[in-house]
Amino acid sequence: MSCLVIAEHDNATLRASTRNAVSAAAQVGGEIHVLVAGSGCTAVADAAAGIFGISRVLLADAPHYAEQTAENLAALVVAQAPRYSHLLAPATTFGKNLLPRVAALLDVAQISEIVAVVSPTTFVRATYAGSVMATVESADPIKVVSVRTTAFAPAGDGAAAAIETIAASADQGLSRVVSRQLTQSARPELAVAKVVVCGGRGLGSGEVYRQLLEPLADKLGAALGASRAAVDAGYVANDLQVGQTGKIVAPQLYIAVGISGAIQHLAGMKDSQVIVAINKDPEAPIFQVADYGLVADLFEAVPALTKALG
Amino acid sequence: MKILVPVKRVVDYNVRVRVKADGSGLDIANAKMSMNPFDEIAVEEAVRLKEAGVASEVIAVSAGITNCQDTLRTALALGADRAIFVDTGEMRGAELQPLAVAKLLQALCMKEQPQIVLCGKQAIDDDANQTGQMLAGLMNWPQATFASKVVVAVDKSHATVTREVDGGTETLEVSLPAVVTADLRLNEPRYATLPNIMKAKKKPLEIVTPEALGVDIAARLTTLKVAEPGKRAAGVRVADVNELVARLKKDGVIA
């Protein structure tokens, strides 16, 4: 057995999600290699070589990998695939975009967003918005697996793996990134934050969302999130969406403000360590998963909480 | 320019899906079924492209058991021009999985030569998020996943797609033909009106089989068991903000 983990990075920094995928690979067993494909990404390869459990880093450095397009990366991964029994990547928008294309080119299934490794051929994954945990077995010669980052602790440092430069595949010339509009924020990133403050339709408007939740988040050093209903209503951008079709989070503390708690939302946050719900409706389903429920008018309770945190 | 839109029949998003007591499967025999919500968004986008004069024809496709034809009729009522149903039968209880669906769509793309395949980004039953990317790979076409905006160039040589990615958005230019998968904010789908539902019954619906398309639809993954996730222990109601803060401090989650 041998695993190849596809690194997620921006050519300068290795994304923490890569470390979660390495932990899943460690549970599969065998040697673990990391593929770093990018442009001018030596620093990323150096960081990957230090991850505990890694025995080799494959580095493919070429201009047409700079933007991480699925077409070019898939061609490269497929060329390396015969050396491995498992290909893994984090189930972020990066991994979700890339891995199914790789699997199809290899004529194998892809196993989406696993939360547990039962054996090298058998995995557990969530379906139906987390209502059903399915144990699935693959009969394919190569297992292509995306990894739910919150289900595997990030691998730490502790290795000094060799970096092997590999040949780039040809530029497919099918797509190009015109621009990126990335949210600039001093707050921690939603997917990895220790504390998340999440707002829903109960807030009534984007203005109130910012007015009430930003001071609370600042006090707690928290990331901000939102329910799908709040995103639909235009309060905040879609990349803050927590739930089945948005981000999956599992912080130490999750504070849900004005969120009723549809099953699709619970799917994205119910593995948080401590859940606090503030809602004026005592029957709101969010209270069924909350460790601490406060039935109150959020327009009074949230500023009071911000103040009480000193 | 043709647009192909794959649509999936799924358990309605309002239905709370439960696992059978013996863990052998799901209790969904009588559940309300609907079109996958992301596929509705894909149909809407394709119909809007036709209404804008960009596309000439919108073809809806579904694969599965006979009842999937209901989902295709919904797509026709929403504005698709014709439909293709791939009748897979019951498959002796085996699942129709994303790779098999991508291969069926590949065969139909060879035949119909669409310039864009517009899919939903994921189905809300298996939550796989794979089929569009797989089809793009099999066709060696570019892919623009998680789209929130699609603009087709006047000469129809390429499309500019805004994608929802972690941390923000990305604008991608893809040559056509291409696969685009729809995210939540691409549009707000219309409702089918009664006259359109009546008209949809008369629109053409072609039935084909995997054998006729030369596609092996055998499942690659076997579901060994299903289970409900672990339940969280019941929490407590706190009287006010001060009690809440005291409890959180005691738990050590705030300083």
Rounded average pLDDT over B45-58: 98
Share of residues in chain B with pLDDT > 70 (%): 100
**ipTM of the modeled complex:** 0.96
Q: Which of B165, B163, B183 is nearest to B173 (CA)?
A: B163
Tell whether B117 is within 8 A of chain A (Cβ): no
Provide, as residue numbers in chain B, all residues whose Cβ is less than 8 Å from the Cβ of A130: 229
Q: Is A287 in Cβ contact with B235 (below 8 Å)? A: yes
Q: How far is CA B157 from the centre of its chain?
A: 26
Give the pLDDT confidence score for residue A105 in this predicted structure.
Answer: 98
pLDDT digit string (tens) for A124-181?
Answer: 999 999 999 999 999 999 999 999 999 999 999 998 999 999 999 999 999 999 999 9
Q: Which of A70, A244, A294 sits opposite B133 (nearest CB)?
A: A70
**How close does chain A come to B251, measured CA to CA in Å?**
9
pLDDT digit string (tens) for A288-298?
Answer: 999 999 999 99
Q: Is B145 in Cβ contact with A97 (below 8 Å)? A: yes
Q: What is the 3-state secondary structure (H, E, C) of B173-217?
A: EEECCEEEEECHHHCCCCCCCHHHHHHHCCCCEEEECHHHHCCCC
Q: Which of A127, A179, A270 sits opposite B171 (nearest CB)?
A: A179
Q: Are B222 and B110 in contact (CB under 8 A)?
A: no
pLDDT level of residue B233 (50, 70, 90 thresholds): confident
pLDDT digit string (tens) for A223-276?
Answer: 999 999 999 899 998 889 999 889 999 999 999 999 999 999 999 999 999 999
Rounded average pLDDT over A46-62: 98
Interface contacts (A, B; CB < 8 Å): 255
Q: Tell me which chain A residue has its CA closest to the CA of residue B10.
A: A128
- Note the residue count of chain A: 310
pLDDT level of residue A310 (50, 70, 90 thresholds): confident
Coil, helix or strand at residue B232: coil
Q: Are B107 and B6 in contact (CB under 8 A)?
A: no
Give the pLDDT confidence score for residue A182 in this predicted structure.
Answer: 87
Residue A104 has pLDDT above 90, yes or no: yes
Q: Are B156 and B115 in contact (CB under 8 A)?
A: yes
**CA dist., res. A223 & res. A225, Å (int):** 7
Tell whether A220 is within 8 A of chain B (Cβ): yes
Give the pLDDT confidence score for residue A219 in this predicted structure.
Answer: 94
Q: What is the 3-state secondary structure (H, E, C) of A255-304?
A: EEECCCCCHHHHCCCCCCCEEEEEECCCCCHHHHCCCEEEECCHHHHHHH
Residue B153 has pLDDT above 80, yes or no: yes
Is the link from the previous residue into B177 a cis peptide, with omega within 30 of 0?
yes
pLDDT level of residue A55 (50, 70, 90 thresholds): very high
- Residue A186 buriedness (CB in 10 A; 0-12 / 13-18 / 19+): exposed
Give the pLDDT confidence score for residue A276 in this predicted structure.
Answer: 97
pLDDT digit string (tens) for B116-140?
Answer: 999 999 999 999 999 999 999 999 9
Give the pLDDT confidence score for residue A179 in this predicted structure.
Answer: 97
**CA dist., res. B35 & res. B119, Å (int):** 12
Give the pLDDT confidence score for residue A140 in this predicted structure.
Answer: 97
Q: Is B98 in Cβ contact with A109 (below 8 Å)? A: yes
Share of residues in chain B with pLDDT > 90 (%): 87
Residue A186 has pLDDT above 90, yes or no: no
- Residue B214 buriedness (CB in 10 A; 0-12 / 13-18 / 19+): exposed
In a mutational test of the A interface, the residue from B10, B143, B173 whose CB has the highest number of chain A CBs within 10 Å is: B143
Give the pLDDT confidence score for residue A192 in this predicted structure.
Answer: 85
Q: Tell me which chain B residue has its CA closest to the CA of residue A221.
A: B254
Indicate the helix (H) or strand (E) that contains B5.
Answer: strand B2-6
Give the neighbor-by-neighbor strand order of the sheet with A292-295.
A223-226, A195-199, A253-257, A274-279, A292-295, B236-237
Residue B75 has pLDDT above 80, yes or no: yes
Give the pLDDT confidence score for residue B216 in this predicted structure.
Answer: 96
Chain B, 171 to 230: residues with Cβ < 8 Å from chain A are: 171-175, 178, 183-185, 220-229
pLDDT digit string (tens) for B185-228?
Answer: 899 999 999 999 999 999 999 999 999 999 999 999 999 999 99
Residue B93 has pLDDT above 80, yes or no: no
Contacts of A247 (CB under 8 A, 6+ apart): A190, A191, A225, A239, A241, A268, B166
DSSP B15: S
Tell whether A134 is within 8 A of chain B (Cβ): yes
Give the pLDDT confidence score for residue B48 in this predicted structure.
Answer: 98
Is the model more confident about A113 or about A182? A113
Tell whether A43 is within 8 A of chain B (Cβ): no
Tell whether A112 is within 8 A of chain B (Cβ): yes
Residue A195 has pLDDT above 80, yes or no: yes
Q: Are A146 and B162 in contact (CB under 8 A)?
A: no
Share of residues in chain A with pLDDT > 70 (%): 100
Q: What is the mean pLDDT of chain A?
A: 96
Q: Is A293 in Cβ contact with B237 (below 8 Å)? A: yes
Tell whether A276 is within 8 A of chain B (Cβ): yes
Q: Is A101 in Cβ contact with B133 (below 8 Å)? A: yes
